[in-house]
Chain A
Amino acid sequence: MTVAEAPASVALHRRLGLTDAELESINERLGRAPNDLELAMFSVMWSEHCSYKSSKRLLRTLPTAGSDVLAGPGENAGVVSIGDGLAVAFKIESHNHPSAVEPYQGAATGVGGILRDIVAMGARPVALLDALKFGWPDDRRTRGLVDGVVRGVGGYGNCVGVPTVGGELLFDPTYTGNPLVNVMCVGVVASGGIAHAIAPTPGSLAVLFGSPTGRDGIGGASVLASASFVEGSAAMRPSVQIGDPFAGKLLIEVTLELVENGLVEGMQDLGAAGITCATSEVADRGGTGIRLDLDAVPLREPDMQPFEIMISESQERMLAIVRPERLDEVLAVCRRWALPAVVVGEITGDGDVVVVGGGTEIARIPARALASDVPEQLHQSAPPTRRRLAPAPGETPLAHDGLPERGMDPGAVLEALLGHPNVGSRAWVTTQYDQTVGTDTIEGCEHAAAVLRIKGSRRALVIATDSQPAVAQYDPALGAQMAVAECARNLAVTGARPLGLTNCLNFGDPNVPEAYWQLTESIRGLSEAAMALGIPVTGGNVSLYNESPLGRIAPTAQIGMVGLLDDIDTLVRPQFRNEGDIIVLLGETGPGMGGSAYERLAGAAPDDRPPSLDLVREAALHTVLRRAAAERLLGSAQDVSAGGVAVAVAESAIWSGLGADLLLEVSISPAASLFGESPGRAIVSLAPEHWSSLARLCASHRLAARRLGAVGGNRLRIGLVGVGATGAAEERGAGVADELDVALDELKRAWTQALPRVLGVRA
């Protein structure tokens, strides 16, 4: 609700989204009552989006330490050293509610915002990834959202010349009223040249450069991202920011030139809460204050009110903290790129953010009170009354686990899975993204991880983003752990070791005990998995209030990870390489079809559950994959995730054009063996002469390794053997296949057509 729309009888602080208790805290910190402008500044800074007041306490439990971490949470982005004097900056952020209201601009400014976070660290952006979640695309509104969001991501990323090299696309009914647009950006910076969002020295100048300030995005963060959707959210459209990628491109070049030439003391991007946030954060971090001259701020409209200028979220703006003797050089750089730049304030030593308008002081607030001394909110946490947990280790699987596959042709199930938009090709989306600008892209959006070489070295960055909302619906902690495990596995199959983890936590209204419990559990799971796999959490973003009249979204911890491959020649790709190579399944198959793509397609037994995750075994798998890659044993490696072993093998086959002939042992049920998604597994192929080395390596890490068959032909054949297979075969009716046997062309067609079919577009 905007200020204008609320009845005037409601007190101003409530209309701005502040509680009575928060007003009291403000009075305490000021030693007096705030004026209206000050109240507006508090309202945006103390919004959920800017202050993390509901999640901060939980986020402190995440493991953030790592020997290579140069900047962790609290900075604009995490930074991790990759050696040779270079470092990577990376972060993932949400732009969910703006995208729901205005998909093109919401998504575009989501890209612009995360780019500025990376650039503000002094890093040149080298990669973007987009993780998108929508409702089932059988209604026109959702199709319109998909189209607008994809165009928006491409519209911004393509124009600024940063390749979009990966991402995720999931459809689930829980996102119908509240789609998710999470964008990750990765940049490269000289370790000695990292910029910080800080104003360390009184007497320095605050230079605002980039686009002029307008009325777009007034209170975007506090209005849109800090409350649930109610009916008539179209009225929120004025709160959506408008992107200008051309200005964004100029802003990137100017910012990097200023940082690289050592012309600035501090650099802060303007995002949520605009000038208020940028000025108070740099002053708070520096232990200084700032005196801001509102009349100096370039405006798009002449008659803007002071509060509008202070909280506007107009895009493509940056704040540089500059020593006076460097000012001329700074302004010259901006002039060369035709980007407006003006001195809007001076750094002081008194700790206050002081706003001057028309020559008089119109606001004075301690920077700390705005930026870091925000009262945290406590919430009640309660699990749902009925839960289905993953089976404990050693627990006997349910007798009827995997019931639904009886009487089904496994080949038809595989085709249906590959043709599911959550499993099949994303090409309709990703052909709209420039994936190769920058001439570093070795692997783009086609597979589970992106690979970018680092020019002038043998090394490469490997980047992935994953989530497991369907599992998290059952068990939020397990869902978060599985997302971390899958993301790390996607790096490990290439041979890369993970450097750090960023996360975007998308959840519901924290005032609802079950939603807050989901958040709490997810952070616990994330923390445990990151710790077990030894991956530092370097930053992230929390997006709450993801609810609509249609309900709350599935708990969605979106994980982003950057890994390093020391020698690009050892890169292992997911497609089969040579006819005659043997195919090996690494890891153990466990019971549980809950949360799987198969469950979505065929349903599951009423009390079936998600598979369990053993983080020690998961870590062992990753170690084996990395060692095997470094020793050049592998022809291909592909993680087993959505759609299970059958889909993993099918993808390796589709991407290579080489078929495969396998025998799969069934210990639980045919469905679990073929389509189950128990974690900690990978499908690798290798030359037969390397098998003994791989088997030894696996044995030394107590990792199961089973030869399944060989690469070759133009069909995918998977025969089933073992006790479970016989049992199921008895119950299959006449004429039903007892093995999976499909032509590669058919699988490829199903996989290619997955998205065009449901969206009703041409491939």
Chain B
Amino acid sequence: MRVAVVVFPGSNCDRDALHAVQLAGAEGELVWHETTDLHGADAVILPGGFAHGDYLRAGAIARFSPIMGAVRAHAQRGGLLLGICNGFQVLTEAGLLPGVLRRNATLRFEHRWVSLSVERRDTPFTWRVPDVITLRMPIAHGEGNYWLPDDQLDELEAAGRVVFRYTGPEGNPNGSARDIAGVIDATGRVCGLMPHPERASEALLGSDDGMLLMRSLVESVAAAPARVPAAA
């Protein structure tokens, strides 16, 4: 099992994602954005940060990075692709996931611990999450306010493609439509979320709930492929 973590100039959670992937028992590799080869990785993570500075709009330039051709091809082959925070923003800009991430409703950068309800436990990213558990992990972003027109939100929900929602007393930290924190694509192989599972990878850091997602991803390929639904 090998996971490639893409490094854009300005990525700043690349090493954190690598650390979490390794904790989950996979081999990890940092892949520079100018290369066009993922070296046959089984899964790809687009990490958090400010790719290319994000002075324009988060992810707007990163989608043109050379590596994105290989990332797209990887997804089209049915490879697992996870975008965290800035990575989620890049995936929406690249059209690999629906929706846009607008500036937070507070118009400020928000760093908070949030609670997430897991709406789908039958995806390669969540199948290790036990029933009824809500996940605690941090958010840290200025543009995480998920938005789609209402009719498309209806469709997204009807298709069961909302995977994570903000819940609990902390509530919705950024004004996202229908409390959406993460979504999945129609194939069920491409997922993005604003919260940071890699930062909730050890109890010492306040929570290891994020490891449930990292293990789901890693073990989807490695341990129990038969149990993993091929498509949502």
Q: Which residues of A contact B (CB under 8 A)?
A: 151, 154-155, 158-161, 244-247, 249-250, 336-338, 430-442, 453, 455, 568, 762
Pick from A431, A440, A568: contact of B110, CB under 8 Å: A431
Q: Other CB < 8 Å A-B pairs besides A336-B32, A338-B9, 4 of them?
A: A432-B110, A436-B140, A455-B19, A762-B106
B9: chain A residues at CB < 8 Å are: 246, 249-250, 337-338
Pick from B10, B16, B55, B205: contact of A442, CB under 8 Å: B205
A154: chain B residues at CB < 8 Å are: 109
How many angstroms from the CA of A441 to the CA of B206 in the assembled complex?
9
Contact with A along B105-135 (1 / 0, CB 8 A): 0101111100000000000000000000000
Residues B111 and A433 in contact, CB atoms below 8 Å apart: yes
Residues B13 and A161 in contact, CB atoms below 8 Å apart: yes
Q: In the complex, how many angstroms separate the beta carbon of B183 from the nearest chain A beta carbon?
A: 23
* Nearest neighbor of B50 in chain A, beta-carbon distance: A159
* Interface size class of chain B, counting residues whose CB lies under 8 Å from the partner chain: 20 to 34
How many angstroms from the CA of A249 to the CA of B34 in the assembled complex?
17
* Nearest neighbor of B12 in chain A, beta-carbon distance: A161
Residues A437 and B50 in contact, CB atoms below 8 Å apart: no
Residues B20 and A439 in contact, CB atoms below 8 Å apart: yes
Q: Which residues of B contact A (CB under 8 A)?
A: 9-10, 12-13, 16, 19-20, 32, 34, 48-50, 52-55, 106, 108-112, 138, 140, 142, 196, 198-199, 201-202, 204-206
Residues B12 and A442 in contact, CB atoms below 8 Å apart: no
Pick from A337, A431, A438: contact of B111, CB under 8 Å: A431
Pick from A161, A336, A453, A762: contact of B49, CB under 8 Å: A161
Residues A435 and B19 in contact, CB atoms below 8 Å apart: no
Q: In the complex, how many angstroms separate the beta carbon of B205 from the nearest chain A beta carbon?
A: 6
Q: In the complex, how many angstroms separate the beta carbon of A154 from the nearest chain B beta carbon?
A: 5
Residues A246 and B55 in contact, CB atoms below 8 Å apart: yes
* Nearest neighbor of B34 in chain A, beta-carbon distance: A336
15 pairs, A vs B, C-beta closer than 8 Å: A158-B50, A158-B142, A161-B12, A245-B53, A246-B50, A249-B10, A336-B34, A432-B111, A433-B109, A437-B48, A437-B199, A439-B20, A442-B206, A455-B19, A568-B204
B108: chain A residues at CB < 8 Å are: 151, 431-432
How many angstroms from the CA of A432 to the CA of B141 in the assembled complex?
9
Q: In the complex, how many angstroms separate the beta carbon of A245 from the nearest chain B beta carbon?
A: 7
A159: chain B residues at CB < 8 Å are: 10, 12, 50, 53-54
Q: In the complex, how many angstroms separate the beta carbon of A536 from the nearest chain B beta carbon?
A: 29
* Nearest neighbor of B202 in chain A, beta-carbon distance: A439
How many angstroms from the CA of A729 to the CA of B48 in the assembled complex?
59
Pick from A158, A244, A455: contact of B140, CB under 8 Å: A158
A432: chain B residues at CB < 8 Å are: 108-111
A436: chain B residues at CB < 8 Å are: 111, 138, 140, 196, 199, 205-206
Question: Known: A439-B19, A439-B205. Contact between A246 and B53, CB under 8 A?
Answer: yes
* Nearest neighbor of A253 in chain B, beta-carbon distance: B9
Q: In the complex, how many angstroms separate the beta carbon of A111 from the nearest chain B beta carbon?
A: 14
How many angstroms from the CA of A303 to the CA of B167 in the assembled complex?
57
Q: In the complex, how many angstroms separate the beta carbon of A188 from the nearest chain B beta carbon?
A: 13
A437: chain B residues at CB < 8 Å are: 12-13, 16, 48, 140, 199
How many angstroms from the CA of A246 to the CA of B10 in the assembled complex?
6
A433: chain B residues at CB < 8 Å are: 109, 111
A338: chain B residues at CB < 8 Å are: 9
Pick from B16, B52, B55: contact of A439, CB under 8 Å: B16
Residues A246 and B52 in contact, CB atoms below 8 Å apart: yes
Residues A439 and B138 in contact, CB atoms below 8 Å apart: no
A155: chain B residues at CB < 8 Å are: 109
B199: chain A residues at CB < 8 Å are: 436-437, 439
Question: Known: A439-B20, A442-B204. Contact between A158 and B196, CB under 8 A?
Answer: no
Q: In the complex, how many angstroms separate the beta carbon of A159 from the nearest chain B beta carbon?
A: 5
How many angstroms from the CA of A487 to the CA of B76 in the assembled complex?
56
* Nearest neighbor of B48 in chain A, beta-carbon distance: A437
How many angstroms from the CA of A432 to the CA of B112 in the assembled complex?
9
Q: In the complex, how many angstroms separate the beta carbon of A332 from the nearest chain B beta carbon?
A: 13
Q: In the complex, how many angstroms separate the beta carbon of A280 from the nearest chain B beta carbon?
A: 32
Pick from A245, A337, A442: contact of B50, CB under 8 Å: A245
B52: chain A residues at CB < 8 Å are: 246
Residues B55 and A249 in contact, CB atoms below 8 Å apart: no
Residue among A154, A159, A433, A762 having the largest count of chain B Cβ atoms under 10 Å: A159
How many angstroms from the CA of A244 to the CA of B54 in the assembled complex?
11
B106: chain A residues at CB < 8 Å are: 762
B142: chain A residues at CB < 8 Å are: 158
How many angstroms from the CA of A596 to the CA of B199 in the assembled complex?
39
How many angstroms from the CA of A244 to the CA of B10 in the assembled complex?
12
Q: In the complex, how many angstroms separate the beta carbon of B191 from the nearest chain A beta carbon?
A: 20
B140: chain A residues at CB < 8 Å are: 158, 434-437
How many angstroms from the CA of A437 to the CA of B140 in the assembled complex?
8
Q: In the complex, how many angstroms separate the beta carbon of A200 from the nearest chain B beta carbon?
A: 32
A434: chain B residues at CB < 8 Å are: 109, 111, 140
How many angstroms from the CA of A762 to the CA of B107 in the assembled complex?
12
Q: In the complex, how many angstroms separate the beta carbon of A425 from the nearest chain B beta carbon?
A: 13
B10: chain A residues at CB < 8 Å are: 159, 246, 249-250
Question: Known: A245-B53, A246-B55, A338-B9. Contact between A435 and B205, CB under 8 A?
Answer: no
Q: In the complex, how many angstroms separate the beta carbon of B12 from the nearest chain A beta carbon?
A: 2
